[in-house]
Structure formats: C-alpha cells, structure tokens
Amino acid sequence: MTTTAPAGAPADARALGLAHYAARGVLEHVLARHGLTFGQQVVLRAVLTADGPPAAEDVVGQVRRSLKSDPAEIRATIDELLTRRLLVTDGGHLRPTEAGREVTAAAGAEVAPVSARIWGAIPAEDLAAAGRVLALVTERADAELEALNSTR
C-alpha cells in the first residue's frame, strides 16, 4: 500500500490529506521538542498575532473557525497555556508572556529551514494555482460543514 499519490496525479481529498498530515507531522515533531502541542501553538499564535490583547472567547472562535475544534477543547488548551504561564489574563483579555513569546519564536526558528526545504523550488505559478484551489476547497468544505451543522 502506498502512502503518496503518484507524481502528476490530480489533486483530490486524499492527496490534500496526505500533504496536510505530512507537514503537520514535521511541525508536531518540532513543537514537541519545545514542549508544545499543535493546539497550544495555534492558540499562542492567535494571541500573538491579534491586533490587541484578545478576549479568550475571541480566541476560541478564531481557532474553532480555523481548526473546526470543539470549543471546550480550545478552552482547555487556553487553560493549559495559562497554567504553564505562556499566557496570562489581563482584564478579561489574554496576553502572551515573555516565555510564550520565546517558545513560539524558538519553535518558529527551528521549523523555518525545514519549511523552506519542503516548499523551496516549487514554482511560484504552481504555488499560486495550489493556493487558489485550496481556498476554493476550504470555502466549499466550510459551506458543507455549516449545512451539516444547521440540520442538527
């Protein structure tokens, strides 16, 4: 049984899934060396990249929209980060601590050259085409998920 699609095969859900899990596996390996889970990294990044200190529920909503995760799991992840002092609360808002900034930067610096090796030398026009296709697949899948959720 092969785990990769043949070269030149058209993109489909399987190829997308294989690429996602391969790349995520690399990221999770790096994050584990820094004591982070994938979910923790996503929450930390959401707080770090917000325009201002976000409310916890805003982070829950953002991560839920991105990962389609259970809000209770996201809240538990926020609690883990608060316990580890990678995040703190400030008047109902979340702020990264210096330790949170440092661990995120260290993991990012370690994954950057790996990411460059994975994505490097892919022609810009191929990346642009893939980006358009992935955006369309995401839009359609989000619409299907919304329809499924509305029939509950």
Position 47 scores a pLDDT of 98
Q: Which of 78, 80, 86 is nearest to 62 (CA)?
A: 78
Residue 66 lies in a domain: yes
CA-to-CA separations, 129 to 16, 82, 96, 144, in angstroms, rounded: 14, 40, 36, 23
Range of the domain at 44: 23-122
How many domains does the chain divide into?
A: 1
Position 7 scores a pLDDT of 67
Residue 106 lies in a domain: yes
Token pair 């900034």 in the structure block, residue = 101
The CATH number of residue 61's host domain is 1.10.10.10
Q: Which residues of the chain have pLDDT under 70?
A: 1-7
Residue 4 lies in a domain: no
Beta strands in 72-119 (DSSP E): 87-90, 93-96
List of long-range contacts for 96-101, beta carbons under 8 Å, 24+ apart: 96/44, 96/47, 96/48, 100/44, 100/47, 100/48, 101/48
Distance CA 103, CA 76 (A): 19
Position 6 scores a pLDDT of 61
- The pTM (predicted TM-score) of the whole model is 0.87
Position 78 scores a pLDDT of 98
Residue 8 lies in a domain: no
